[in-house]
């Protein structure tokens, strides 16, 4: 039975070279077993080297990568995944995602989702999923692949962007929500309400946000290059938020979206 996804993972977005290597190395040493990367991050080699240098058994790890938009066509999809596996020094990934849906249908969704499924069927990926998919995209994907095939939708989620239409659709279709940028580049860590809850629980603001993510049923993948933060984030599980805390955080939603490149879809 494939390992199920650990609630807290170590993200590697924006980490290059030695920073990527050291961050993954520190995360593994601290006890993280879920590592998230992507072809476009340009750090799969460093992530792979950190995994190879670690003493953690492969069966205990949950590794995610994502296929970039220029490799979604049938001719390049699997070869690009094989290249990623070579860089990661792995025989398979635990989760393979489509990084972004295409706006222009240069490659039809049916084509790239069939390739994604093929990666799973041939053992190159244990689980498959999507990233940055809207409700309309997820509906289309389910029509193509059927229910209960897509494991997760990785989308931006934090207290300032709670993304309700997407998270509720995922919940109704047995799809895990993996929330990226949980701290909104640090914006939510400065929030007075979050700081107040942190004081109440003798916790850090980051631990409160991660505890909120977990209690909401979300997986999340913050990235850090600081050992102290990597270790402290892992202690979020010792923070138990009460209903009042959850209500306060629910009230912070303000549609504050940070990941919105020009190729992004029309968001829900």
Residues known to be catalytic = 41
Instruction: Identify the residue whose tokens are 């995944």.
Output: 81
Find, among 149, 148, 207, the residue nearest to 183 by Cα.
207
Element (H, E) at 97: strand 93-98
89 touches 49 (CB < 8 A)? yes
Contacts of residue 55, Cβ cutoff 8 Å, sequence gap at least 6: none
C-alpha of 210 from chain center? 13
Q: In whole angstroms, how far apart are CA 167 and each of 100, 176, 178, 217, 228?
A: 17, 9, 9, 10, 31
Sign of the dihedral through C-alpha 58, 127, 154, 237: negative
Ligand-binding site membership of 173 (annotated): no
56 touches 24 (CB < 8 A)? no
Find, among 80, 137, 146, 75, the residue nearest to 109 by Cα.
137
Rounded CA-CA distance 202/225 in Å is 24
Rounded CA-CA distance 51/156 in Å is 26
Find, among 74, 77, 70, the residue nearest to 96 by Cα.
77
Rounded CA-CA distance 57/68 in Å is 28
Residue ranges at the known binding site: 99
Residue list, annotated binding site for substrate? 99
């Amino acid at each position: 039975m494939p390992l199920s996804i650990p609630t807290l993972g170590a993200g590697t977005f924006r980490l290059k070279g030695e920073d990527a290597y050291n961050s993954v190395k520190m995360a593994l040493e601290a006890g993280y077993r879920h590592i998230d990367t992507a072809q476009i991050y340009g750090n799969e080699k460093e992530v792979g080297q950190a995994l190879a240098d670690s003493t953690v058994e492969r069966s205990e790890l949950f590794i995610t990568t994502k296929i970039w938009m220029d490799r979604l066509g049938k001719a390049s999809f699997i070869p690009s995944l094989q290249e990623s596996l070579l860089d990661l020094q792995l025989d398979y990934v635990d989760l393979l995602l489509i990084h972004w849906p295409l706006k222009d249908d240069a490659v039809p969704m049916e084509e790239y989702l069939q390739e994604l499924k093929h990666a799973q069927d041939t053992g190159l990926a244990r689980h498959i999923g999507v990233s940055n998919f809207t409700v309309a995209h997820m509906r289309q994907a389910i029509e193509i692949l059927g229910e209960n095939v897509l494991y997760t939708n990785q989308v931006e989620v934090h207290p300032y962007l709670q993304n309700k239409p997407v998270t509720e659709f995922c919940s109704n279709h047995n799809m895990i929500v993996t929330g990226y940028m949980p701290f909104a580049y640090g914006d939510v860590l400065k929030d007075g309400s979050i700081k107040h809850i942190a004081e109440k629980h003798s916790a850090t603001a980051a631990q409160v946000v991660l505890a909120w993510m977990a209690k909401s049923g979300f997986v999340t993948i913050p990235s850090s290059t600081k050992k102290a933060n990597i270790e402290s984030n892992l202690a979020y599980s010792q923070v138990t938020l009460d209903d009042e805390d959850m209500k306060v955080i629910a009230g912070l939603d303000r549609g504050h979206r940070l990941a919105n490149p020009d190729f992004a879809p029309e968001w829900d």
